[in-house]
A and B are shown apart, each in its own frame.
Chain A
Amino acid sequence: AQSVAQPEDQVNVAEGNPLTVKCTYSVSGNPYLFWYVQYPNRGLQFLLKYITGDNLVKGSYGFEAEFNKSQTSFHLKKPSALVSDSALYFCAVRDGGSYIPTFGRGTSLIVHP
């Protein structure tokens, strides 16, 4: 079985400050972890993924995510937030043997000018 949790419905951050969007997961095998972003009235867009190897994964638009196996977490980060980063962010997990990813409920990121 696989599951993912995004404990925050909303994250507020000032422009220029670092941001973190949290994600924890549970799988029975090897985890494959993904972050997607959804801008208003748009479909989801892929940001980055962890497959294996380096625990720090770099993705699009200056985002990165840190895989922590002991804490079963995959938090999304960015050193300096932009107002244009305001969007809905989804974490997803796939167990190595699964066709189908499980998505979190989403976290709304609001970056204030």
Chain B
Amino acid sequence: NAGVTQTPKFRILKIGQSMTLQCTQDMNHNYMYWYRQDPGMGLKLIYYSVGAGITDKGEVPNGYNVSRSTTEDFPLRLELAAPSQTSVYFCASSTTGIGTDTQYFGPGTRLTVL
């Protein structure tokens, strides 16, 4: 299994541009998550999904959108990129959302907005 894969690995955007960060998992996990990681700030949850067709906001959803049309894919859309969105973005998945469940993380996408 490839696990959780993310593309691209790196991207530089200009202010106001848009892009989609791709995330795919091949473990048939129902739950998927998008986090951003800023230095010294840990992980902040942007959006999560409990299954195909169902998404919900996390702690820092402003400026982002998601969709979940299939179990495998959970793309994150940035509209009108801003310098504050410069960060490393991680996608994760888990079998269920119950407390005992372990999350599996992708390798991350490093985004710079100039």
Query: Chain A interface (Cβ within 8 Å of chain B)?
Result: 9, 30, 32, 34, 36, 41-46, 49, 51, 90, 94-101, 103-106
Query: Are A46 and B102 within 8 A (Cβ)?
Result: yes
List the A side residues contacting B97 at CB < 8 Å.
99-100
Which residues on the A side are within 8 Å of B53 (C-beta)? none
Number of A-B contacts (CB under 8 A): 58
Chain B minimum-CB-distance residue to A48: B102
Minimum Cβ distance to chain A for residue B66 (Å): 15
Cross-chain contact of A49 among B33, B58, B100 (Cβ < 8 A): B100
Judging by beta carbons under 8 Å apart, are B58 and A100 in contact? yes
A43, B105: Cβ atoms closer than 8 Å: yes
- Besides A41-B107, A44-B105, 14 more A-B contacts (Cβ < 8 Å) are A9-B40, A32-B99, A34-B102, A36-B103, A36-B105, A46-B102, A46-B103, A94-B99, A99-B97, A101-B103, A103-B35, A104-B42, A105-B41, A105-B42
Partner-A contacts on B (CB < 8 A): 4, 31, 33, 35, 40-43, 45, 48, 50, 58, 90, 92, 97-100, 102-108
Residue in A30, A34, A42, A106 whose CB lies within 8 Å of B107: A42
A97 to B99, CA, bound (A): 7
A-B contacts, 17 listed (Cβ < 8 Å): A32-B99, A41-B107, A43-B90, A43-B92, A43-B108, A44-B92, A49-B100, A51-B99, A95-B99, A97-B99, A99-B31, A100-B45, A100-B58, A100-B97, A103-B43, A105-B41, A106-B42
Residues of A with C-beta under 8 A to B100 = 32, 49, 51
Q: Is the CB of B42 within 8 A of A103?
A: yes
Q: How far is the CA of A58 from the CA of B97 in the complex (A)?
A: 23
Residues in A with CB closer than 8 Å to B33 are 100
A96 x B99 contact (CB < 8 A): yes
Given A30-B99, A104-B42, are A99 and B48 neighbors across the interface (CB < 8 Å)?
yes
A85 to B104, CA, bound (A): 20
Chain A residues whose C-beta falls within 8 Å of the C-beta of B103 in the assembled complex? 36, 44, 46, 101
Taking each of A30, A36, A97, A101, which has the highest tally of chain B beta carbons within 10 Å of its own beta carbon?
A101
